[in-house]
Chains A and B, each alone.
Chain A
Amino acid sequence: MASETGGLLSFDGSLPFLVTASHELKAPLALIRQLSLALGSELSDAERERIVSQITLTSERALRLTTDLSRSTRLEDSLFDLEPLNPRQICEEAVHELAPLYKARGREIRVASGHRPILAVANRDLLRRIVLNFGDNALHYTDGSAPVEFRVNTYGGDSVRLGVRDYGPAVPIDVWQRLSSQLGSGAQALHARPQSSGLGLYIAGQFARAMNGRIGATRHRDGATFYVDVMASKQLSLL
């Protein structure tokens, strides 16, 4: 549960919010700095071009996190329009946005083929940000043996589940239990998946709750699936 203390948000049982946020922003900023310093050394044109592209993609990733952060602090003041929307289209937009980053990292991302999905009732921007967050997270834990996949399914009859499956090292069970209990309720970094954004997952949980949805995760032997469940549209049943 989030509480407000002295103007700074903090989360029960976790680090103060700003400490966690600043820690998670350090990684991309440190990388951008190191890559910028590399530009001062002797490089071929191809190497220089590659490093500039890495700087651009890393800064875009950091900006996604800062944008989500500022958006999450305004959640309680705002009402978000919920509308029936095609969840597969949201996933396709996220794949389109993340594809350059994945390609630069030698990884692949795609939307799994499947049946035409039932419409979801959600806020387009928040849902897009959640799946982008999961996609960012998956990038670092997939070993390239298989593409990261966005999957859309009907869940429990009245929900739509948008999941992002990665193929990375298995998370030890004790860490997984800690992660499961933290999903949506804390902002701690996950030490067995250090680049996975505990903060990003917290924000995704906030966004999901603002749409009456929830996030969760499933552990696999060869990776994990992070998902968001949102309401399914009933509009077809009215016809």
Chain B
Amino acid sequence: MTKTPYVLIVEDDEWLAEQYERTLSQAGIRSEMVPHALAAIDAVDAKLPDALVLDLLLTGPNAFALLHELHSHADLASIPVILCTASADQLADEDVKAYGVHQILDKTTMTPGDLVAAIKKVLP
């Protein structure tokens, strides 16, 4: 039996997170959303996601703090990350590759199809 992919969405704008969840659901991908990095750690502890959709500027610890935390655990360091940010023009792929970020999506130009494609690319 094929395992249903599971994606964790870390986004502090709940309406945007809902939109990601709706988009992934329409593509047959199950997801859950959490609003900040601390809740993300709890969610990852509870169930290991196949991929992470991550906002850059979060309430409290930002995305890099979360990525540092994930990378300090061998079993979590390999979770593929899709970074969704409105500051994509200020980031280079090379800057974030070491953190397991597979793709940066620009919130100001991305389409629902871009998110699905990015996730499908990293799913096992």
Q: What is A's interface to B at a CB cutoff of 8 Å?
A: 23, 26-27, 29-31, 33-35, 37-38, 41-42, 47, 54, 58, 105, 140-141, 168-169, 172, 189, 191-195
Contacts and interface: CB of A to CB of B under 8 A. Distances in A.
A58 B112 CA distance: 19
B13 A27 contact: yes
Interface residues of B, number: 24
Contacts of A105: 14-15
A188 to B, nearest CB: 12
A194 B107 contact: no
A38 B23 CA distance: 8
Contacts of B59: 140-141, 168-169, 192-195
Contact of A192 (B15, B60, B108, B110): B60
A37 B112 contact: yes
Interface of B: 12-16, 19, 22-23, 26, 36, 38, 57-62, 86-87, 107-108, 110-112
A2 to B, nearest CB: 24
A47 B22 CA distance: 10
Contact of A30 (B14, B86, B111): B86
B22 A194 contact: no
A38 B22 contact: yes
Nearest to B13: A31
B62 A38 contact: no
A222 to B, nearest CB: 13
A191 B62 contact: yes
A54 B107 contact: no
A220 to B, nearest CB: 15
B86 A35 contact: no
B16 A34 contact: yes
Given A58-B15, A105-B14, A140-B13, 6 more contacts: A31-B13, A37-B111, A169-B38, A192-B59, A192-B60, A195-B57
